[in-house]
Structure 1
């Protein structure tokens, strides 16, 4: 693993190139509004102030689909800790990292409340940057994480006031995420998954920002292979109709955008991109086609602090 992971911007798509043809699925995860989801998950007061949180229904769907009971679920930028709560409630172990004292307090409170309610698996949150995962102190996690589940987060200096209106350029956030994914890749066990959830971002003219292409580039630059793309609804389904469940802040942002001449719609979904270790994805594709890879070799990743862990040796 390189000491300085390359950013997604260093892996631009060829002009006109389409993202990989991934299987697409739609998750009906918006049948209840966010406030109800947080209440039913017994999240503590203040959790809803995390504007980039993964809604509990989406976190639960990802955990149920891409991990097994007893797995370790890691969120390297956990915010208020919703992923940790849903992991514990689903019978998984949970580990989160954050450098915000406010988020640490909320995440810790959420873990405590969840365990007090009967979730007996191990859960913890560390006051640390994701770079901790690339040090010798994280050696015990190498090859043991069943699921990395995290959100594309707004940079710390972005107040995030416009949940629906124009957003700042997400390039910085994507580059930071690309580095984090590189730190997480050696930690995945064979058969594990890495899932990134991103709320919609908009350009100044109200059009949606293409997050799929740079996020796939970020995962690929970390040595991962994209395997699924999902649309996780935050709007309810009523027959063939979508019923928006936007917050008051979202509705006000839409009103401001329209008053400024940018007719935008209320958000109805989050983007979910799923990755696996490149070798696991290759084997899965070979099995689906009824063949077996004919060439095998061992690739050794760069050591951290002069130590080369066996968990970093991947067949390719």
Structure 2
């Protein structure tokens, strides 16, 4: 395990002030192409049709970094279920939700295939929207989830909120609501991780997803502790070998104006409970929130925590 520097910041922020960016790190998760990753994970045919899925290598890295064997990993919008597969393969319990029957069928098949390959932890997928997490049916999950790991998905159907609705607003509203549903379920020491595919404005410029993701987390009382670039390109010495899809290459070729580069990463934002940040600041001898902002702290990612919120020895 490694120590990652983090910078707590006061909640709520003063009017008009934007949250600071957390420290940046890079995950070398693109050494194998997506098809090879899916084959190695034992995913069933059709999984690759989920264009918003979290690549298995990225899911495996996040699960290994922020959880221990036996922890519960939740994906509130799991798609075809790559997060569920990697959680089971890593010896974690897992639960996924999806409102699309096509994804539910694939995720269920992936869980079955992973269990048939020897995974013995509990894993299930529910045909339901993330709103289920805010009902009495999810009461047994409160304070039990070690990691919420999910992708920022393209709104479809009812989630798109109509043809005249701003698509960026749809993204923000969907993510903010999901984060609010998940926050009460996190145990002390747990993390919420959002993985986003880079998106471009009509002029080809990359959208600022990090600020939007941080704002969504802050709306639920979560503190951003790390911003990561999870590579989808392979590292060959000092070169990056891009693995862009045909659709991405065609979009780049058809872009108007200045040429645009192919993306080679996923944007990843890692959050923790504000209460955990407050405890860590107190343990470091600083006050929360003012002194903590001026004195960034060190913490061990993936450490075990007791019910009282203190890290176990």
CA-to-aligned-CA distance 1:106-126 (integer Å, 9 cap, x gap): 000000000000000000000
Post-superposition offset of 1:250 = 1.8
Task: Tell me the distance in 2 between the aligned counterparts of 1:197 and 1:36.
Answer: 20
Choose from 170, 174, 180 the match for 1:172.
170
Choose from 237, 240, 262 the match for 1:239.
237
Q: Which residue of 1 aligns with 2:146?
A: 146
Task: Give matches, 1:3-82, under 5 Å.
Answer: 19-82=19-82
Task: Give matches, 1:1-316, under 5 Å.
Answer: 19-157=19-157, 169-257=167-255, 260-287=256-283, 290-291=284-285, 293=287
- The answer to whether the Cα contact below 8 Å between 2:282 and 2:288 also exists between their aligned partners in 1 is no
Q: What SS class does the counterpart of residue 86 from structure 1 fall into?
A: helix
Task: Tell me the distance in 2 between the aligned counterparts of 1:280 and 1:12.
Answer: 18
Size of the aligned set, in residue pairs, is: 276
CA-to-aligned-CA distance 1:28-71 (integer Å, 9 cap, x gap): 00111111111111111011111110110000010011111100
Go from structure 1 to structure 2 and tell me whether the alpha carbon gap of 1:128 and 1:291 turns closer, same or farther (over 3 Å shift).
Answer: same
Post-superposition offset of 1:214 = 1.2
CA-to-aligned-CA distance 1:67-121 (integer Å, 9 cap, x gap): 1110000000000000000000000001000000000000000000000000000
Post-superposition offset of 1:189 = 0.4
Go from structure 1 to structure 2 and tell me whether the alpha carbon gap of 1:13 and 1:215 turns closer, same or farther (over 3 Å shift).
Answer: farther
Task: Tell me the distance in 2 between the aligned counterparts of 1:202 and 1:294.
Answer: 37
- TM norm structure 1: 0.82
Q: Over aligned residues, Cα RMSD in angstroms?
A: 2.5
Task: Tell me the distance in 2 between the aligned counterparts of 1:123 and 1:283.
Answer: 32
Post-superposition offset of 1:256 = 2.1
Post-superposition offset of 1:294 = 8.1
Task: Tell me the distance in 1 between the aligned counterparts of 2:69 and 2:133.
Answer: 23
Q: Which runs of 5+ in 1 are unaligned?
A: 1-10, 161-167, 296-313
CA-to-aligned-CA distance 1:191-236 (integer Å, 9 cap, x gap): 0000000010000110000011111010000111111111100011
Q: Which runs of 5+ in 2 are unaligned?
A: 1-11, 161-165, 290-308
Task: Tell me the distance in 2 between the aligned counterparts of 1:56 and 1:294.
Answer: 37
Task: Tell me the distance in 2 between the aligned counterparts of 1:73 and 1:139.
Answer: 16
Go from structure 1 to structure 2 and tell me whether the alpha carbon gap of 1:87 and 1:252 turns closer, same or farther (over 3 Å shift).
Answer: same
Task: Tell me the distance in 1 between the aligned counterparts of 2:272 and 2:52.
Answer: 23
Q: Which residue of 2 aligns with 1:306?
A: none
Task: Tell me the distance in 2 between the aligned counterparts of 1:294 and 1:19.
Answer: 16
Q: What SS class does the counterpart of residue 20 from structure 2 fall into?
A: coil
Q: Which residue of 2 aligns with 1:4?
A: none
Go from structure 1 to structure 2 and tell me whether the alpha carbon gap of 1:44 and 1:228 turns closer, same or farther (over 3 Å shift).
Answer: same
Post-superposition offset of 1:14 = 6.3
- TM norm structure 2: 0.83
- The answer to whether the Cα contact below 8 Å between 1:13 and 1:213 also exists between their aligned partners in 2 is no
Go from structure 1 to structure 2 and tell me whether the alpha carbon gap of 1:12 and 1:88 turns closer, same or farther (over 3 Å shift).
Answer: same
Post-superposition offset of 1:292 = 5.8
